[in-house]
Amino acid sequence: MKIIVCIKQICHTYARTGQDTERRYLNPEDTIYRINPYDEASLELALRFRDQFEPAADIILLTLGSLIAESELRRCLAAGADQLCRIVHSGSTTEDDPLMQPDPWTKADLLARAVMELGGEIVLCGKESMDRGSGQIGALLAHILKMPYVSAITDLSAGATTDQLHVQRSAGRGVREILRCPAPAVFSVDLGPDLRLPIFARRQWAMTCTIQNMMYPPWERSAQGVTIRLFPPRPRPKIVPVPDSRLPAYDRIGQLLAGSKVEKKGDLLTGSPESQVDGIMNYLKANGFIKSPDT
Amino acid sequence: MKALLTALDILLVFLAVMMMGVGLAREWSFWWSKKGSRPAGNLAGLIAYLLQQREILRRPAVGVAHICVFWGVVLPMLVIIAAQFGFILPVRLSHILHLLQDILGLFMLLGTLYLLKRRLRLSSEQGPQRTVLLIGVLLTILVSGFLAEGARLGILNPTEFSWYSPVGSVFAQVLPASPLFMQGMIRMHFLAVCVLIAIVPFSFLRHAVAAPLNVFFKKQEPGAALRKLSLETGDIGAKSVTDLSWKQLLDAEACVACGRCEENCPASISGKLLSPRKVMQQIYFQAKTFGVAHPGNGGQPEPPRLASAISPEEFWACTSCMACVAHCPVYAEPLDKIIDLRRYQVMGEGQLPVEARGMIRDLDLYGDVQGKGAAHRADWAMHRGVPILESAAAETDILLWVGCAGSYHPRNQQTTQAMVKILQTAGVRFAILGKAERCCGDPARRLGEETLFQRLAQQNIEQFNRYAAHTVVTLCPHCLNTLKNEYPALGCRLKVVHATEYVMGLLDAGRLQLKYPLAKKLAIHDACYLGRYNGIYQAPRQLCENIPGLTLSELTRSREKGFCCGGGGGRMWLHEHGGRNINVVRAEEIAESHVELIGTTCPYCLVMLDDGVKSLELEKTPVVSDVIDIVANALG
């Protein structure tokens, strides 16, 4: 039995500390490259399914595009997968930029071709990705492959017969439902247990494992829905600073909207009450609010 | 003397020595053939140890008894060896020596009786095994020796009291003047000595060989550092006794199961299952029972996993405080074996307690234990005039290593800001690494994740190599220990100083003035990683003494005997199962001494003790404060 897990390497932006609008307020250390956590959850589900029901199953990881998070991919491989396949398509551009990723149709088509070539019986993917969050890949895959599809599952188990699968999903507001689904099928997975820790021997194996490249030409039909503009978030100030009243209104508004960092002007007096009193007195004298007796 | 020994006697002695030799060789082979480099050995240290017996005297009564028994065994042995060279002593001198021997024998008798009484009273499964037999043999030797002397005097000088043989003279009054009796006693004495020699490897007396060897081969480098795993060779920790090094096995052999480690272990004291003594004894037991050769050689079956004898619940309870190492009289170290057990558990089996996985994942992805990311590492320093090393390398003397707690934890950020205030007031040219800094890797290493530790360390070492070697000043003793004692094994030697030491230096040089008084009663809680690991006890106390109005009181369990806050060894991120929380135990102890202020020198201690005292819900809660905070407040 082959279980195919589609994993996406993402460029996760966890902070916007830059000042440059050209670079969308991003500094180099504001992003990390990792695997979409929903995809890691789907891998963990696949591993648990194999442990419990199908010890002889092969788990194949499938990813698309350039290797921006190779160490993380190999970590997923070390966690228990058997093979890592990468789809290379001749239309690929820089993957960092979500705007420049191919649209979900194209991605689903490429993945479907790989799934058909590999021959998977269960196809798992994450419910959505953390960088674009379109959440369409599972459904589109199932459509192209003509397989049944259940979204946002949290548990996968074998049913009464070998070709029946039971999946559990949250039906909203605490309600959980269990569905019976015939294999082969496509499931998208919601967050659940964390991906297991890989053992060292497998990490070493995964470091040197060859990634199988699968080359496909780009799809002829272009996407119907196309992104035409992308608005990055304005860096949100953590604490809104008090604008400087001496500045004109335009600058004051600029101050309010400035960076995600706190603009703190002036001296913060700390310490014991005596030292703080001294600090206040020094400030008042230094700025001419109080004339000291000897001037 | 030689005329009294028959051929049979010589044969018996020979047999006894053979038995001892064979037994010891078997014990020896147990660890002598194992991996690891053999250090030079410190003979002077060993001799000093044997003469002073300081570590054993930490339990005063037992220590004195041990000294009596020790010299009672060693001196006659030396005398016997010297006597083989056949020389005549002047009568007066020989009488004085005889008297001294009698006194020594008497003391040894008292010591042995005390130890026997103690052994019979304390019956613990984990305690020293096979001691009663040994004590019986020693008593036989002593009593038969005195009785033989008494019989001899009874035959030679029945009426006179020989001043040089008081015990014998006393016995001479009551014993029959029978040469047969005397011969019988002499025979018994002789046989008992032979038995003693023969049973050295098989009874508790093996510690007389193993313990001095362990002291001889004691690690000489200062500071406690875990050994670096050369992961490429497949060394991932201790699955079974075959994975332990010869020194670790020698430690296990030298362990006399005295229980001082267990008595001082915070996990043990707070009711957890962990017992460092049990760890050592289980390792010894498994090594003796199953052998230590790798299964490949000679088709032996693989020894069982150590984790089946020492359960994961036990070794995850360790806070790596090093109290077991500090208190062991034979310098055995349970700590590095516990860490090796953890390493195998994590890297060989992928089993890490669930609570810590999030933190490890964060360390993996973001490079800090809170998971906030390098982008925010220097947020605490914003607009405070803190130079970043990248741009200020030319005008920097000191690199201030902030650490994860000081960078991200709101309470510890205050301490970092206080340190900056101190440095700026003193006019020190310092800088921080800022966003280029990563976690030193200590939590990962203590939890057994060696791969992650080495990766984080390499990232930091790259930064250190980019700039000229500055002195590194750090606020966190864990960072201090890792940077100072563990990075050299990875190829990076740094001069690292703790903030309290550095500030004390500034104070001594007159660059700081502590003006504002603080009229409170303060006790210093010694951080394990600052105190036992790096020997720094005085600097925080000196700093506090220089603050006007502050009265220092010393806690009972302080300095080397200090009690852990419970946060080390990665336990900050683990739940405590069973017993009481370690930080609450310590907080209670401190609260009982009625201090108003608790001075800490470690961000972990600060957080753990703060939680601890607050959970006690006292009327007058002591305030927990870092010593650097207190100093900064007093700054003029």
* Digit-coded pLDDT (tens) for A153-193: 999 999 888 789 999 999 989 999 999 999 999 999 999 99
Q: Work out the minimum CA distance from B636 to partner chain A, whole angstroms.
A: 7
Q: Work out the minimum CA distance from A274 to partner chain B, whole angstroms.
A: 7
- Residue A37, pLDDT > 70, answer yes
In contact, A114 and A85? CB cutoff 8 Å:
yes
The sheet carrying A164-170 orders its strands as A176-182, A164-170, A149-158, A185-189, A122-126, A2-6, A58-64, A83-89, A212-216
Q: What phi and psi values does residue B341 have, to the nearest 5 degrees?
A: -65, -45
Q: CB neighbours of B73 closer than 8 A, spacing ≥ 6?
A: B108, B138, B208
Residues in A closer than 8 angstroms to B519, CB to CB, are: none
Residues in B closer than 8 angstroms to A262, CB to CB, are: 382-383
From A122-126, B466-470, B508-512, the region with the lowest mean pLDDT: B466-470
Cα separation, B66 vs B57, in Å, equals: 9
| pTM across the whole model | 0.90
Cα separation, B2 vs B9, in Å, equals: 11
Note the residue count of chain A. 295
Cα separation, B414 vs B610, in Å, equals: 15
Q: A142: closest CA among A186, A88, A196?
A: A186
Cα separation, B38 vs B24, in Å, equals: 19
Cα separation, B325 vs B277, in Å, equals: 11
Cα separation, B583 vs A247, in Å, equals: 52
Q: What is the band of A248 on the pLDDT scale with cuts at 50, 70, 90? A: confident
Cα separation, B305 vs B286, in Å, equals: 9
Rounded mean pLDDT of A105-115? 92
**DSSP of B396-425, one letter per residue?**
-SEEEE-HHHHHH-HHHHHHHHHHHHHHHH
Nearest to A194 among B357, B366, B373 (CB): B357
Cα separation, B162 vs B602, in Å, equals: 66
Q: What is the band of B163 on the pLDDT scale with cuts at 50, 70, 90? A: confident
pLDDT for position B280: 96
Rounded mean pLDDT of A109-135? 94
In contact, B250 and B312? CB cutoff 8 Å:
no
Query: Cβ of A239 under 8 Å from any chain B Cβ?
Result: no
Chain B residue whose CA is closest to A276? B633
Ranked by mean pLDDT, which of A214-228, B170-184, B501-515 comes out on top?
B501-515
Cα separation, A78 vs A74, in Å, equals: 6
Residues in B closer than 8 angstroms to A71, CB to CB, are: none
* Percent above pLDDT 70 for chain B: 97
How far, in whole angstroms, is CA B116 from its chain's centroid? Answer: 27
* Percent above pLDDT 90 for chain B: 69
Contact A14 B379 (CB under 8 A): no
pLDDT for position B406: 95
Contact B357 A203 (CB under 8 A): no
Residues in B closer than 8 angstroms to A196, CB to CB, are: 350
Residues in A closer than 8 angstroms to B360, CB to CB, are: 197
pLDDT for position B1: 44
State the complex-level ipTM. Answer: 0.87
pLDDT for position B613: 96
In contact, A3 and A57? CB cutoff 8 Å:
yes
From B66-75, B290-299, B385-394, B621-630, the region with the lowest mean pLDDT: B290-299
Extended beta strands in B443-572, E state: 471-474, 495-498, 521-524, 551-553
Q: A89: which strand partners? A: A216
Q: What is the band of B450 on the pLDDT scale with cuts at 50, 70, 90? A: very high
Give how far Cα B331 sits from Cα of A173, B222, B251, B315, B414, Å: 60, 14, 8, 20, 39
Cα separation, B622 vs B171, in Å, equals: 65
Secondary structure of residue A12 in the 3-state scheme? strand
Q: B525: closest CA among B578, B446, B576, B585?
A: B585
Q: Work out the minimum CA distance from B82 to partner chain A, whole angstroms.
A: 58
A290 vs B220, more confident: A290
Contact B348 A199 (CB under 8 A): yes
Cα separation, B520 vs B550, in Å, equals: 5
Residues in A closer than 8 angstroms to B358, CB to CB, are: 194
Cβ contacts from A onto B, under 8 A: 73
10 Å Cβ neighbour count for A245? 6
pLDDT for position B296: 63
- Residue A253, pLDDT > 90, answer no
Contact B375 A29 (CB under 8 A): yes
Q: B441: closest CA among B453, B455, B459, B449?
A: B453
Nearest to A272 among B346, B361, B518 (CB): B518
Cα separation, A51 vs B406, in Å, equals: 43
Q: B10 exposed, middle or buried (CB, 10 Å; 0-12, 13-18, 19+)?
A: exposed
Structure tokens at B361: 């994942």
Structure tokens at B459: 């990232």
Output Rg (C-alpha) for chain B, integer angstroms: 30
Cα separation, A181 vs A142, in Å, equals: 13
Mutate to test the interface with B, among A29, A36, A202 (most CBs of B within 10 A): A29
Ranked by mean pLDDT, which of A279-293, B35-49, B482-496 comes out on top?
B482-496
* Percent above pLDDT 90 for chain A: 57
B350-353 contacts: CB < 8 A, separation 24 or more?
B350/A196, B350/A197, B350/A198, B350/A199, B351/A197, B351/B312, B352/A197, B352/B447, B352/B448, B352/B449, B353/B316, B353/B574, B353/B575
The single-letter DSSP state of residue B200 is: T
From A285-294, B140-149, B390-399, B401-410, the region with the lowest mean pLDDT: A285-294
Cα separation, A287 vs A268, in Å, equals: 16
In contact, B168 and B153? CB cutoff 8 Å:
yes
Number of H helices, E strands in chain A: 7, 11
Structure tokens at B144: 């038969």
Q: A222: which strand partners? A: none
Rounded mean pLDDT of A226-230? 80
Rounded mean pLDDT of B230-245? 89
Q: B490: closest CA among B447, B524, B451?
A: B451
Q: Work out the minimum CA distance from B629 to partner chain A, whole angstroms.
A: 8
Cα separation, B126 vs B389, in Å, equals: 54
* H helices present in B84-165, as ranges: 91-121, 132-156
Angle between helices B276-290 and B246-254 (to 10 degrees): 110
Nearest to A199 among B349, B357, B373 (CB): B349
Q: What is the band of B222 on the pLDDT scale with cuts at 50, 70, 90? A: low
Rounded mean pLDDT of A218-246? 71
Nearest to B379 among A200, A261, A274 (CB): A261
pLDDT for position A270: 76
In contact, A7 and A64? CB cutoff 8 Å:
no
Rounded mean pLDDT of B59-75? 92
- B478-493 pLDDT, tens digit each: 999 999 999 999 999 9
Residues in B closer than 8 angstroms to A197, CB to CB, are: 346, 350-352, 357, 360
- Mean pLDDT over the full length of chain A: 87
How far, in whole angstroms, is CA B114 from its chain's centroid? Answer: 27
Which amino acid is residue B429, in one-letter code?
A: R
Chain A residue whose CA is closest to B236? A200
How far, in whole angstroms, is CA A169 from its chain's centroid? Answer: 21
Cα separation, A274 vs B30, in Å, equals: 67
Residues in B closer than 8 angstroms to A193, CB to CB, are: none
From A171-175, B48-52, B87-91, B288-292, the region with the lowest mean pLDDT: B87-91
